[in-house]
Structure 1
Amino acid sequence: MIATWVRMVSSLFVGASCLAAPVGRMDEAGKFWHFPAMSQSPIPSWNLYGEDSPFPDLLHIERIVDRAAGLDWRIAPHRHLHLHQVFLLTGGGGRLSFDGVAHELVPPVLVNLPRGVVHGFAFAAGTEGFVMTLPAADFPELFGPEAETAAALARAWAGPVPEGVAAGFAAIAAAHEGQGAFRRLRLRAAALDLGCAVAEAIGAPEAAPEVADPRMARFEALIRRELASGWQLVDFARELGLSERHLRRLCRAATGLSAHAYLEGVRLREACRLLAYTRMQVQEVGFALGFEDPAYFGRVFARVTGLSPGAYRARLEG
């Protein structure tokens, strides 16, 4: 039900772009493919491609045919600000491009796409495999600053499929569809195991990956720290040692979003999480996120998701 709902809700984010390299040829200069949208308008930032819905489940996994067939097997350049994706192609193939360089993908192939990397696909019709999507903030063991796997997983990469990885994807897909005891714990354990296998396949980076502006990480950390305080942009800017205007420019350059939209997005994602995973009353969720007026919280939530908080929770439980 949650997987279906992730496809249905309207989006929190709009923003910026990228694509991948061929197995065995990652160090070669690839061909540059022109995407008109890249020069004419901002490349979107999605939660899942074509959607900017809240992400209430622990993770998302689906077959590539289910994601790409309805899009004529082409996924235009886009990026995910908070989501990490791993693709397994077992049949078919196509082109993947990240950082503007496109390469052929010949299955079996494993693809690692960190959050913030602009990427796009042109799959061969009938391509088989899986895509797993992880909210990075929910897996600090893999992506946190102290994680042993963080440096490897921060690389956009395509390469051979290690032994056992295909079985790992299949196990996660089966657990994701199930509703048995310890579902979340089993999913988490399987995702951590697969993440370690992917990091091991990638190996240590030859050079330190390009680091995003650290002020954006501090901005998001402050938003999460002050969820209940009702801070406005001016408060965050002051804490960061910036003018409000500078913070707006920084956020737009880093994410393609206005600072207000970014702030609202972080708060509303947390609202979705609390509604999905706790039994807090709707007004308690609003208070926890700094909304003093429950009615106003309900209006903001409905404007973003298309549903009232109560209807959103009921839909997840349906």
Structure 2
Amino acid sequence: MITLPVTLEILRAGSSRLNGHFHQEIALIEHPPKAGQMKAPVPNYELYGEKSRERPDFWLHCETIHARSSLYRWEIGLHRHERFFQILYIAGGSGDALFEKTVEQISSPAVITVPPGIGHGFRFSPDVDGFVFTVLASHLPISPGRSSRPGAWMAAPRLTPLGGSEDGRYIGETLRRLATECEAGLSHRTVLLDAYLTTALVLTGRLAEGGDDEGAESENERRMERFDALLRQHYLTHRPAAFYARALGLSPTHFSRIVRAATGRSLHEVIAGKLVEEAKRQLLFTRGSVQQIGFRLGFGDPAYFSRFFLRRTGMTPRAWRTAERERLGA
């Protein structure tokens, strides 16, 4: 039975330059519970780099599993990430993975994926080898959720053995290249990071599901995947729900039922949610004014953008930005 410390605190330990680029570091400090103390909730921490004003483009962090776990006797206590998706590539060694209250044995090679908000912890053998990637969830090429087959797979924590298959070897090589590119800082870096990340996630999902059997996908799943692609292409132009239904050859009422069954939200809510997600990303990680961000998102009237954001979040864009940057220590 795995026994892991359950209380962690994050301290920013500053940053150092590697090859002309910032390398973010965090320190995990373990605190034993005080006598008579109630069981603490699963702690939440965020991995973030320089202050948003200095590093607005931060979205991906990489480090070796050995470097982090060796500091804590090869155990990482139960914790969660509110805004970050994690990928662990286990190239060597073994251990245990704790997902909420479920324990799974780790045998290398394997990939572990953990979506935001899920409590998780690890115990590794001292010979563990591999990398951990922490990705800002809003920057993922595929959003964890039920709106597509890959998104549904990413919505729950997974431990996927890579085995000796060709895809398994390719996934391992792709993640090693992703780690190298994270530190290299060469030209067109972001393009390659996105490409490696997308490749690794899609292939790992296929491997976990026993292959990409197109015949096994339902018609509605395929429609939702096409809708995701259309939404990414057109959401800044504020197309109405009927536009997406017509593009898929469906009536608005029929397609709305499909969307609600897949996501638990109405079609209008999904479309608006995409705009809110991008608004939050730009408010937090860019220097643009609220008016500039609203204009980039297709809102000609700044007051209308503020009302739209307020209805969806309960806060004005300016108040949300201030609160989030204060919470993140920016």
TM bucket, shorter chain: 0.5 to 0.7
Q: What are the residue-to-residue correspondences of 1:117-196 with 2, within 5 Å?
A: 117-143=118-144, 145-161=146-162, 162-196=168-202
Partner AA of 2:106 in structure 1: L
Mapped to 2, the partners of 1:132 and 1:191 lie a distance apart of 10
Mapped to 2, the partners of 1:160 and 1:226 lie a distance apart of 32
Mapped to 2, the partners of 1:158 and 1:108 lie a distance apart of 11
Mapped to 2, the partners of 1:153 and 1:226 lie a distance apart of 18
Mapped to 1, the partners of 2:181 and 2:155 lie a distance apart of 26
Q: CA deviation at 1:126?
A: 3.7
Contact 1:45 1:78 in 2 (8 A): yes
Partner AA of 1:273 in structure 2: F
Partner AA of 2:39 in structure 1: Q
Mapped to 2, the partners of 1:96 and 1:3 lie a distance apart of 30
Equivalence for 2:78: 77
The 3 A distance-change label for structure 1 pair 144 and 73 is: same
Mapped to 2, the partners of 1:142 and 1:304 lie a distance apart of 24
**Are 2:26 and 1:7 aligned?**
yes
Q: CA deviation at 1:214?
A: 6.5
Residue 317 of structure 2, aligned match among 290, 298, 306: 290
Deviation sequence 1:45-92 (CA, Å, 0-9, x none): 22249x9x8784232222101222222321111112222222111222
Contact 1:79 1:119 in 2 (8 A): yes
**Are 2:43 and 1:44 aligned?**
yes
Contact 2:284 2:325 in 1 (8 A): no
Contact 1:153 1:198 in 2 (8 A): no
The alignment partner of 2:58 has SS state of coil
Mapped to 1, the partners of 2:274 and 2:41 lie a distance apart of 25
Deviation sequence 1:18-59 (CA, Å, 0-9, x none): xxxxxxxxxxxxxxxxxx9x970111122249x9x8784232
Deviation sequence 1:201-228 (CA, Å, 0-9, x none): 11179xxxxx99869xx79x66963998
Q: CA deviation at 1:141?
A: 3.2
Unaligned runs of 5+ in 2: 1-16, 29-34, 163-167, 212-261, 294-301, 307-315
Q: Which deviates the most, 141-150 or 65-74?
A: 141-150
Contact 2:284 2:324 in 1 (8 A): no
Contact 1:151 1:204 in 2 (8 A): no
Identity in percent: 22
Over the aligned positions, Cα root-mean-square deviation in angstroms equals 4.3
Residue 286 of structure 2, aligned match among 258, 274, 278: 274
Mapped to 2, the partners of 1:214 and 1:116 lie a distance apart of 20
The 3 A distance-change label for structure 1 pair 303 and 64 is: same
The 3 A distance-change label for structure 1 pair 56 and 145 is: farther
Q: Relative contact order (C-alpha < 8 Å, sep 6+): which is higher?
A: 1
Q: What are the residue-to-residue correspondences of 1:55-70 with 2, within 5 Å?
A: 56-70=57-71
Equivalence for 2:208: 202
Query: Higher strand proportion, which one?
Result: 2
Contact 2:69 2:75 in 1 (8 A): yes
The 3 A distance-change label for structure 1 pair 156 and 223 is: closer
Equivalence for 1:249: none
